[in-house]
Amino acid sequence: MGMNVGASDSGEEEVVSTINTTPLVDVMLVLLIIFLITIPVVTQSVNLALPKETNQVRKTKPENIELAVTKEGEIYWNTANVPNVEALKDRLRGIAKMDPQPEVHIRGDEKTRYESVGKVILAAQQVGILKVSFVTEPPARGG
């Protein structure tokens, strides 16, 4: 690397048109060190074993109970409207006594309040239903 110390032989002073990148490199190295030190502090979190996504093919059996909860909170037993949670419990009590017990599949509208679905789950739990499943749409392929 060359350096101009004095005027050239022709008597004219030349303008140095190169950019001095040394300060830029110094600043970038300092920023890199700061990021390397602060990233582990920012990414700390509680260690949890999160559930894995599973997609099981639903086996439709005639004895399975299909419960649907609309976005308004209405409950349907297959296609018949159930007026309230107590009526649902009465119908589920008969199912809970069967041996083997059929599965209860809950289909909830995506805009349904959690409270509405929670009431159905609680009713199934209170009468002794052993297997409750949620029916969802599979994710789009390739995306």
Whole-prediction pTM value? 0.57
Report the CATH fold assignment for 65-134.
Nucleotidyltransferase; domain 5 (3.30.420)
Tens of pLDDT, residues 109-137? 888 898 999 999 999 999 999 999 888 77
- DSSP state letters, 18-79: ----HHHHHHHHHHHHHHHHHHHHHT------PPPP--PPP---TT-EEEEE-TT--EEETT
Measuring CA to CA, which residue among 117, 33, 135 is closest to residue 69?
117
Tokens describing residue 51: 């559930």
Tens of pLDDT, residues 62-114? 678 899 999 899 999 988 899 999 999 999 998 888 888 888 999 888 888 98
Q: To which H or E segment does residue 122 belong?
A: helix 114-127
What pairing do the DSSP bridges indicate for beta strands 75-77 and 80-82? Answer: antiparallel
* 3-state secondary structure (DSSP) of residue 15: coil
Domain definitions of the chain by residue range = 65-134
Q: What is the pLDDT of residue 8?
A: 56
In DSSP terms, 38 is beta-bridged to none
Tokens describing residue 100: 């083997």
